Structure 1
Amino acid sequence: MNGSKNISLGLLLLLTLGFSSVFAQTTKVKGVVTDKTGTPLPFASVFVPGTSFGIATDAAGRYELQFDSPKDSVRFSLMGYKTVVIRVQRGSEQVRNVTLESGAKNLSEVVIKRKRERYRNKDNPAVELIRLVIDNKSKNRMEHYDYANYNQYEKLEFALSNVSEKISNNRFTRKYKFVFDNQDTTKMAGRSLLPMYLEEKLADVYYRRDPEKKKTIITADKKVSFENYIDNRGLSAYLNHIYQDVDIYDNNMMLFTNQFLSPIADAGPTFYRYYIADTIKTEDSTKLIVLEFYPRNKADRLLEGKMYITLDGKYAIQKADMTANKEINLNFIRDFHLYMDFEKTPDGRYFMNKNTLMADFGLFKGKSGLYGERTVSLKNMVINKPMPEKFYEGSSYVENEEEAQKPESFWEQNRHDTLTTAESKVYANIDSLQHMKSFRRTMDIATLLLAGWKSVGPKFEVGPVNTFYNFNPVEGFRLRLGGRTTPKFNKSIYLEGYGAYGFKDQKWKYYFGGSYAFNHKSIYDWPVRAVKASYQHDTKIPGQELQFVQEDNFLLSFKRGNNDKWLYNDIYRVYYLHELYNHSSFQVGFKHWQQTPAGTLSYYKGTSVPDSVKKITTSELSLELRWAPHEQFYQGKNFRIPIPNKYPIFTLRAIAGVKGLFNSGYNYQNVSLNIYKMVYLSQLGYSEVVVEGGYVFGHIPYPLLTIHRANQTYAYQLESYNLMNFLEFVSDRYAGINIDHNFNGFIFNKIPLLKKLKLREVAAIKVLYGGLSKGNDPRLDPSKIQFSNYSDGVPITYTLGNTPYVEGSVGIANIFKLLRLDLVKRFTYLDNPLIANWGIRGRVRFDF
């Protein structure tokens, strides 16, 4: 349902799928790769020389390679071992087991061989070693130092992998030959990579332990730009969210928005098996133990690989090479590797000076796909040299965009790694591509299909497409046409509007809004300092609140139960939003609201002789305070959506209605608090938790009280009550909690069929307490606007008593890797008329 959430990602997937092709498979070779002792060798490269066909062995050293090339040889290679090339018989299926000989000159001796016996932690030297590593974690982290500063280089790359000749030589793509010729076959064994996105950053980073503060000052920033079609910073933010910073010393490492338990986590010995493989000496005579680790349960979301541990009494990690086992439940990620290198400091400790995360994305095994790589390199580490106290104040992330734009000569001298030939050409190639008319037409169509907006010149867009047509019981068929300006119209000014017409009520609806940014940036570009004014004359369902979805989205036309009680609203609104660098913000505003009942909804006073009330008019002053520490955004040209992380979001709102101001009829105050938190539970998945409460001061008609968020669509909504009817419950004080938990396949992964389908289990519980004071209860005062009734006199609206409203759900997520279906059950207030006790709700969500 989140229509705009993944526009940038969608365009990348479109490119990936657009260039995908199916390879014929005529030769099949499989077997096991081992060393001389018979120990399986994981992560060995198996590929056909001179082609793009290749794979890596799994954790048990197994491989299975299929190809249709006329080549008749296969090459096996692994760092530290001699490369082996074997002959194969073309066009047949064969088993070839291969033994690799050690080629490492610095191998001292093999001290322990893995024995084929039942694994146990007790009296296991590998477990004793890992416990020493765990006990010394705090001494081997940067946080051990009072102060530290260093120079950091980041490189983020995305490339199409294994693009077939049929695609690159197609008559539609032949004109882009200069792009297809820029392929890299050296970076990933068996993969031919076509770079499409590259981003580089140089920064000076300063760390202080007490009070803890990490300040990053960007000195240079360079990235491939798709600015005409995709918000470049929004794309960058989303890709960096997928490729987050990782630290093996954390108990949990975030990889591709999923938590993986670190092999040196405090609970590591409970979930991992450890084996001492080798003892080696480095060139500076440092002794290291090579420790292999594997999941105890292959279905759990865990890692496997090797760690190199120092024997100098500090038990630090000197190097690590890890991946996920092939049997866990991941979407679109066919394979990934995380490499970490650590450098010795003058005091004999180690800090991570380089890490590289490489991933192969795709819909199908062995086909074309998308390759992503992020490298972070640290240099010039300085320990315990503090900066002045004032230096650490202000934002943790500082970048002057104009000053960060550096010439290529600067990058050649200052980047930590040399770009490959293919990488060095990607900036110029993509720039040339965007100047081609045929490419611009293709991207315009893709933007229309995925984002729903069509450019009308560089300064204006028409859309969104999914609101052009919908229907409801009040308006009947409804047509709508809207548009908005782009940043090229004016960087500080943003305008938007629409017009709509209902064929049943024969009324026009319209909206116009304008914003001005005082910091001369987009009004969606953090940190916002902008004023916005708008006027809307349109319909609305009382109690329906949607997140990031247009209310007249066509898919929301389909609703369950009775849905003919609406409002005609006339809303004038003006507010000022000011965001601070510490991710707090305040918003002050004014709202003049005139609501008129529509459809079968009516406002009336009295009981025996109803006195009809045609409309309610209010004028409100508002203040909103929000704090979202370390918040990131997925940001488009004309929208932004927060990216969930482990930090809470607090939102405090205060509203004051002023009687007599612009014919307002009521005095009242409304205070509410909302707390959102993503709770990560490692192997047990994660929960989205929302706690909220509110209180209304003053005596006012029930349409101005809190009408609890109901949902009568078939879409599952996190912060709404999915089996509550519109207008069913009203309160002037309330408190509630919503918990939505995704187990990430923790249970289903242990059931063979469900594991193969990569289904994931979800569960939710929603509890709402509320009440209505005597002064606001219309049932006790006929002079107040009365609760609405059905045509037969049965009440529609109720209050919450001592019993809370409770609903829960269990469901299956990741159906076709996108769809979630929940079976929802309502547990209380089952005697209310025309309610649903059970229901099935769906939600579309993209997860790795």
Structure 2
Amino acid sequence: MVPYTFGRSIILNTIALLAMVLLSIGAYAQQTVVSGTVTDATTKETIPYASFMITGSSKGGRTDADGKYNITISGNYSQLTFSYVGYKTQVKTIKPGIAQVVNVQLQSEAMQMNEVVIKGGKKPPYRNKENPAVELIRKVIANKPKNRMESYDYVAYQKYERMLFSMSNLSEKFKNKKIFRNYQFLFQEQDSTKIGGKNMLPVYQQEKLSNNYFRKNPEKMKTVVVADKQVNFDERFVDNQGLSSYFDRMYQDIDIYDNNISVVSNLLLSPIADGAPGFYKFFITDTIKTHQPQLIELSFTPRNKMDLLFEGKLYVTMDGNYAVQNAYLSVNKNINLNFVRALEAKLEFEQNPDSRYHLSKSNLIVDFGISKKNGAGFTGERTVTFTDYKINQPPTDSLYLNGGTLVVVPDAKKKSEQFWAENRPEALSAANAKVYRNLDTLQRMPGFKRTMDIVTTFVAGYKSFGPFEMGPVSTFYSFNNVEGFRLRLGGRTTTDLSKRYYFETYAAYGFEDQKWKYFLSGTYSLNNKSIYAFPQNYLRASFQRDTKIPGQELQFVQEDNFLLSFKRGENNMMLYNDFYRLDYVHEFENHFSYSLGLRKWKQSPAGSLYFNNSADNVFSRINEINTSEVTLQLRYAPHEKFYQGKVYRTPLVDKYPIFNLRYTAGLKGVLGGEYSYHNFLGSIDKRFYLSQLGYADVTVEGGYNAGKLPFPLLSIHRANQTYAYQLQSYNLMNFLEFVSDHYASINIDQNFNGFFFNKIPLLRELKLREVMSFKALYGGLRDENNPAKNPEALQFVRNQNGLQITNALDNGPYMEGSVGIGNIFKVLRVDAVKRFSYLDHPNVSSWGIRARVKFDF
């Protein structure tokens, strides 16, 4: 059994929540499916990116890099028209209502029909050497610095963004289902010249207008958001701010001059990256002499069709700038991207007064689906327009000094319809203009509210009863060796009761130890916002009496989650904890936060765990350890984006580091505290993007405990005895196996995104991805805290055979590593984990298999 691991998967579930207007997809109406290959009639070579249209309509598409095409046609159309620059247009007849293959041979415009062409020998292999297309792309690469915005001292522009996310490719039969009888106003006809060809159902739309300012020296980018409009869902179901952040992360700005371009949370190598000629094939396919300056059409395809690369066309100026004047980017249908059925990006550039070019418009469309075949799915479209471009006109210095890098004007979300009508670069279509009103109407319908409530219960684990919600569902039942069969029931208040006061509680009972556990908290919001919304600013008082496994630290999942009940090895050592806490949390818009906490903590051993003061006398055991402590925690996560779920805030991992610093002081003699100590903990988390080699998540951490302390108050290192692979824990370390009063650690998790598997025939068809990890922990104990050198110290735990199971790291670092396969069935990662040190400890495994559920694109 593998616990459900959150991460980006919670975002996917939230999108699924929007899709749950309906829970099943029906059969499709009768359609015409046409596929085939377009080739040169003389050379028999395929023609990539040839255009085709449904005769009598405005719908059509392009062939892929192999000259292949596929289109699904609704309606009684009987002809397709094929065209390509330099070739004669050809019309093909098709039979409506059936699937068919129609291959097309285009004749060259310059071809003499009575001429006989004899061609011998094999087609020469593609080479970079003496290839004019490669020579041209090298000139484009060499001229990148002067064609980027960063080449100017100052740049200012206005930016308009529109994001539309829809259920797409829906059949007429789907649309006319009984469940949609009252929702017909939601549907739109989908434009097949983009992606699709059937009905679409918009579920989200956002528009944003901002003024942007760039300064080269010292480098600074400032964005002032003047207007922001989006579909707002009921906060009980959806985190609107988090949803917006998620789409921003998925659909980032496309800068063709960057070496890597972020698309759907993956980095694809730009066709004009410094190393592009080593990964792409380039072809000069046309010369456009009617444009001034003259343009060269440069087509490109990946050398390996499954790598994270684009295919498409660039239009390069031949005026000495070698700038990109236009770009069309798509991906091969075999690319190792999950759930992405099609991707298309178009970039347009305008000329500056100095004859260089700036990006004036970009349009990115991504079609998502469970399978690559036609069927219902999701389509996201982001359009960005850049206007009022100003070069080297310095603004006042105060612009960069006030308000940080991102400023949102106070009334940005309150702009009138007249303001938007006057300031949009392009008017919305009549259908898209209705999206806000349609979805607002939808949310007021009782049937939709019931559906959202059901889905929220299933996905987030809470059942809403208006001012109170019950959950999390995953904790209602669990079991362990100390408590046996455990039942838990709890819930919390919502903003329907109050936006100032929040209460949370649960009660649990273990049938083996026959003890009640419970929790109660009261929280006061100081900024009159939900305490689960960013930025948080609240004061909380709480009491908790419950069990805990020493050294088990979990992310994005509750400790008493049912699936975590399945563990390996001995698992009969726990603590009974009583926590009295008072916490103050304050977050700022720049993602710096601090928290202050006062805690009174009583911990008592449970199961086979014991606290023994003497190495010789078993009767010197103590029943409890009491501490009182005050904690200051600082956190800085620049540019962080996240989704706020019902239980956890899930970060959308990006390239920016996250810094944590925590100081805790033990207060002897205060509220019954028995120890005086000072604990320091610091960590840095960062993702390193390695272009075609994927990415590496790196965590560096260190801690120091000052004071003479019993081992339960030292650093008990994070262990994992479940069968799930946990990123932040040591997966072959036993609970309570190692403690330290000073330590340093490094954790590296490398995902290669299929870079090697993509090049192995047959295996690459599975679209698997390679993963590796390495974790090292170096630490130790001062003599005063080491019972082996100080008999007065609290003794380490031994098992029933008298073997010591708790240890200091006195024989070098603890190390483990893993190699694994990710993206199994698109959701599963399986690692073979190897432990390299301290193999002589009792009940340890030198290796093991661990699995992790994770949704990736």
Q: Normalising TM by the smaller chain, what interval?
A: over 0.9
What amino acid is aligned across from residue 583 of structure 2 in structure 1? Y
C-alpha change, 1:19 and 1:201, in structure 2 (3 Å) is farther
Which residue of 152, 164, 167 corresponds with 1:160?
167
1:102 deviation in Å? Answer: 8.5
Report the more deviating stretch, 750-759 or 53-62. 53-62
What amino acid is aligned across from residue 205 of structure 2 in structure 1? L
1:186 deviation in Å? Answer: 6.4
1:814 deviation in Å? Answer: 0.9
What amino acid is aligned across from residue 371 of structure 1 in structure 2? T
Which residue of 335, 340, 363 corresponds with 1:333?
340
The question of whether the paired residues in 1 share the 8 Å contact of 2:282 and 2:301 is answered with yes
What amino acid is aligned across from residue 35 of structure 2 in structure 1? K
Measured in 1, the distance between the counterparts of 2:83 and 2:442 equals: 37
Measured in 1, the distance between the counterparts of 2:397 and 2:526 equals: 30
C-alpha change, 1:265 and 1:313, in structure 2 (3 Å) is same
1:519 deviation in Å? Answer: 2.9
Which residue of 821, 833, 842 corresponds with 1:812?
821
Measured in 1, the distance between the counterparts of 2:823 and 2:529 equals: 38
- The equivalent of 2:504 in structure 1 is 496
1:49 deviation in Å? Answer: 6.3
Equivalenced residue count is 835
Which residue of 2, 6, 11 corresponds with 2:5?
2
The question of whether the paired residues in 1 share the 8 Å contact of 2:172 and 2:199 is answered with no
1:819 deviation in Å? Answer: 1.0
1:833 equivalent to 2:820? Answer no
Which residue of 764, 785, 801 corresponds with 1:755?
764
- The equivalent of 1:107 in structure 2 is none
1:542 deviation in Å? Answer: 0.3
Report SS of the residue matched to 1:689.
Answer: strand
Map of 1:119-268 to 2, 5 A cutoff? 119-180=126-187, 187-188=194-195, 190-228=197-235, 229-268=237-276
- The equivalent of 1:563 in structure 2 is 571
Measured in 1, the distance between the counterparts of 2:253 and 2:188 equals: 32
1:460 equivalent to 2:468? Answer yes
Measured in 2, the distance between the counterparts of 1:50 and 1:436 equals: 40
1:604 equivalent to 2:615? Answer no
CA deviation map 1:323-362 (0-9, x unaligned): 1222221100011011111111112211111111111110
C-alpha change, 1:186 and 1:130, in structure 2 (3 Å) is closer
CA deviation map 1:72-94 (0-9, x unaligned): 43344679998754212454644
- The equivalent of 2:103 in structure 1 is 96
Measured in 2, the distance between the counterparts of 1:327 and 1:272 equals: 15
Report the more deviating stretch, 682-691 or 21-30. 21-30
- The equivalent of 1:784 in structure 2 is 793
- The equivalent of 2:406 in structure 1 is 397
Which residue of 443, 450, 454 corresponds with 1:441?
450
1:397 deviation in Å? Answer: 1.5
CA deviation map 1:752-778 (0-9, x unaligned): 332222111111111111111111011
Map of 1:600-639 to 2, 5 A cutoff? 600-610=608-618, 611-636=620-645, 639=648
Measured in 2, the distance between the counterparts of 1:372 and 1:767 equals: 42
CA deviation map 1:799-842 (0-9, x unaligned): 11232111111111111111111111111111111112221111
Map of 1:20-99 to 2, 5 A cutoff? 20-23=25-28, 29-34=34-39, 40-44=46-50, 46=52, 56-65=62-71, 71-76=77-82, 85-89=91-95, 91=98, 93-99=100-106
- The equivalent of 2:699 in structure 1 is 690
Map of 1:298-697 to 2, 5 A cutoff? 298-364=305-371, 365-393=373-401, 394-400=403-409, 402-457=411-466, 459-610=467-618, 611-636=620-645, 639-697=648-706
Q: TM-score, normalised by structure 2?
A: 0.92
The question of whether the paired residues in 2 share the 8 Å contact of 1:55 and 1:190 is answered with no
Measured in 1, the distance between the counterparts of 2:378 and 2:535 equals: 32
- The equivalent of 1:801 in structure 2 is 810
1:13 equivalent to 2:20? Answer no
C-alpha change, 1:52 and 1:505, in structure 2 (3 Å) is farther
The question of whether the paired residues in 1 share the 8 Å contact of 2:88 and 2:106 is answered with no
1:3 deviation in Å? Answer: 4.3
CA deviation map 1:780-811 (0-9, x unaligned): 23322111111221111011123211111111
The question of whether the paired residues in 2 share the 8 Å contact of 1:523 and 1:530 is answered with yes
Report the more deviating stretch, 828-837 or 526-535. 526-535
Report the more deviating stretch, 479-488 or 244-253. 479-488
Measured in 2, the distance between the counterparts of 1:601 and 1:491 equals: 43
1:375 deviation in Å? Answer: 0.8
Measured in 2, the distance between the counterparts of 1:80 and 1:368 equals: 37
Measured in 2, the distance between the counterparts of 1:213 and 1:290 equals: 35
C-alpha change, 1:657 and 1:67, in structure 2 (3 Å) is same
C-alpha change, 1:608 and 1:119, in structure 2 (3 Å) is same
Measured in 2, the distance between the counterparts of 1:584 and 1:98 equals: 62
Q: Gaps (5+ residues) in structure 2?
A: 111-121
- The equivalent of 1:110 in structure 2 is none
Report the more deviating stretch, 238-247 or 295-304. 295-304
1:293 equivalent to 2:296? Answer no
The question of whether the paired residues in 1 share the 8 Å contact of 2:187 and 2:199 is answered with no
CA deviation map 1:558-605 (0-9, x unaligned): 111111100011112223233334333322222211101111111111
The question of whether the paired residues in 1 share the 8 Å contact of 2:59 and 2:191 is answered with no
The question of whether the paired residues in 1 share the 8 Å contact of 2:470 and 2:492 is answered with yes
C-alpha change, 1:241 and 1:82, in structure 2 (3 Å) is farther
The question of whether the paired residues in 2 share the 8 Å contact of 1:272 and 1:294 is answered with yes
Q: TM-score, normalised by structure 1?
A: 0.93
Measured in 1, the distance between the counterparts of 2:58 and 2:604 equals: 66
What amino acid is aligned across from residue 502 of structure 2 in structure 1? Y
Measured in 2, the distance between the counterparts of 1:789 and 1:189 equals: 65
Measured in 1, the distance between the counterparts of 2:425 and 2:183 equals: 31
Measured in 2, the distance between the counterparts of 1:81 and 1:493 equals: 72
Measured in 2, the distance between the counterparts of 1:306 and 1:654 equals: 55
1:182 deviation in Å? Answer: 6.1
What amino acid is aligned across from residue 12 of structure 1 in structure 2? I
C-alpha change, 1:209 and 1:532, in structure 2 (3 Å) is farther
Report SS of the residue matched to 1:533.
Answer: strand
Q: Gaps (5+ residues) in structure 1?
A: 104-114
What amino acid is aligned across from residue 506 of structure 1 in structure 2? Q
The question of whether the paired residues in 2 share the 8 Å contact of 1:54 and 1:191 is answered with no
The question of whether the paired residues in 2 share the 8 Å contact of 1:183 and 1:194 is answered with no
The question of whether the paired residues in 1 share the 8 Å contact of 2:296 and 2:317 is answered with yes
Measured in 1, the distance between the counterparts of 2:57 and 2:716 equals: 64
The question of whether the paired residues in 1 share the 8 Å contact of 2:213 and 2:221 is answered with yes
Report the more deviating stretch, 473-482 or 540-549. 473-482
C-alpha change, 1:450 and 1:482, in structure 2 (3 Å) is same
C-alpha change, 1:637 and 1:402, in structure 2 (3 Å) is farther
The question of whether the paired residues in 2 share the 8 Å contact of 1:19 and 1:368 is answered with no
1:639 deviation in Å? Answer: 4.1
1:773 equivalent to 2:782? Answer yes
C-alpha change, 1:663 and 1:28, in structure 2 (3 Å) is closer
Report percent identity of matched pairs. 54
The question of whether the paired residues in 2 share the 8 Å contact of 1:184 and 1:193 is answered with no
Report SS of the residue matched to 2:282.
Answer: strand
C-alpha change, 1:152 and 1:626, in structure 2 (3 Å) is same
